[in-house]
Chains A and B, each alone.
Chain A
């Protein structure tokens, strides 16, 4: 999955992102508004789509959405295509 597809995945899963401009450089905390439910849901969909179980701190250490994408793929054997 490419980064832009990852962004589209997030927009598809989080209704409030549909009408929001986000990019790989968007700040993760701001994008999800510091919401604990969003963090929980984000962990869940990453688990579903990538079979990667990130812990809170790994997500919170990501400054941007691109950082998160890179973090996910660091857990996978497959590299970004």
Chain B
């Protein structure tokens, strides 16, 4: 299943057929640097992990920008009851760029509009300066864990600072309309959640 977030930014849900691509990205040296749980993963380990993962509550996406694979995103530990999820974006190259910002905003919007997530939980290494900077758009706090400072935060999507301004800039420059086109329904995710904002979801089949 593919999801068009905005113009040149497309997500592809990870399943058995593209699982190896996710593994290659996870083992990429740039991404290894920012992972909280480091370590290279073999094909067998990856398959075992995927077979035992709850694919309703933990969803992984390959990220394509201009049709080139650029990394992966995830939304894990989805808690429908409390509308909490843990999003992440992992890119194989430095994206100090508007497209990186558009990816971030549109992915968070998608997590909210499709999965009904109102609170994001974050777990970020102290050395991951780009992610820490992005978290300054939320009210967050730091805590120590295993001798390494990480950011742990439960943050409210609706209270993200300046998000409407950022959306407005993207809309003005690049026509961002917050409509997410989905290529097919939805065997991968198994459902459109009842709390989805259907006006923002366009199913193409």
Contact = CB atoms under 8 A, between A and B. Distances in A.
B169 A37 contact: no
A32 B96 CA distance: 9
A60 B169 contact: no
Contacts of A56: 97-98
A4 interface: no
Interface string B59-75: 00000000000000000
A33 to B, nearest CB: 4
Interface in A19-66: 29, 32-41, 43-44, 47, 53, 56, 60
Q: Which of B97, B161, B170 has the most CB of A within 10 A?
A: B97
Given A56-B97, A56-B98, A40 B166 contact: yes
A37 B161 contact: no
Nearest to A32: B133
Interface in B87-131: 94-105, 129-130
B133 A33 contact: yes
B132 interface: yes
B105 to A, nearest CB: 8
Interface residues of B, number: 28
A40 B130 contact: no
B165 A36 contact: no
The binding surface of chain A is classed by DSSP as helix
Interface string A4-19: 0000000000111000
B96 A40 contact: no
**Majority-rule SS of B interface residues:** helix
Contacts of B95: 36
Interface string B141-166: 00000000000000000000110011
B134 interface: yes
Nearest to B94: A34
Interface in B154-205: 161-162, 165-166, 168-170, 172-173
Interface of B: 94-105, 129-130, 132-134, 136-137, 161-162, 165-166, 168-170, 172-173
Given A33-B129, A36-B96, A47-B169, 5 more contacts: A33-B130, A33-B133, A34-B129, A43-B173, A60-B96
30 contacts: A29-B96, A33-B129, A33-B130, A33-B132, A34-B94, A34-B129, A34-B130, A35-B134, A36-B96, A36-B98, A36-B99, A36-B100, A36-B101, A36-B134, A37-B105, A37-B133, A37-B134, A37-B137, A37-B166, A38-B133, A38-B134, A39-B97, A40-B101, A40-B170, A43-B169, A43-B173, A44-B165, A53-B173, A56-B97, A56-B98
Interface of A: 14-16, 29, 32-41, 43-44, 47, 53, 56, 60
